[in-house]
Amino acid sequence: MDFNQLFRYRTKQFSIAVIKSLSPLPYSDDLSIIRSSTSVAANYRVVSRARSEKEKLAKICIVVEETDETQFWLELIEELEYLSPEKIFPLKQECDELVKVMTSYKFKLSQNI
């Protein structure tokens, strides 16, 4: 599996895990984490289909921003104790890894332009 396929899969699985973990919570428009986590996966799909390096960089910037926002929402959910530590830890861990990888990829792309 190449890099793009791997991270298309990982970002989508991360979104699914967030949605499944939050589904026991009462619905609220304040649960913006679902939007931000699914935006990570959706925008990464666009990165892997970009027509130019500049377009790829622009889209990976969105991925980094949305991943960082998701990280923020996970921190809030943890501090508010909306989810148990057993449920929130793997989400935070995957989000942290995605932030690191996507930030590194963004830096690499910016160096090539």
Instruction: Give CA–CA dist 6/1, Å, rounded.
Output: 6
Model confidence, pTM: 0.81
- Provide the CATH topology of domain 3-22+29-112: de novo design (two linked rop proteins) (1.20.1440)
Instruction: Give CA–CA dist 24/20, Å, rounded.
Output: 8
pLDDT tens-digit map of 41-85: 999 999 989 999 999 999 999 999 999 999 999 998 898 888 899
Amino acid letter, 14: F
Answer left, alpha or beta for residue 84, where phi above 0 means left and psi between -120 and 50 means alpha. beta
For the chain, the domains span 3-22+29-112
% of residues, the chain, pLDDT over 90: 62
The label of the residue with tokens 């892997």 reads 48
Helix residue ranges per DSSP H, 1-113: 3-22, 33-47, 53-79, 85-112
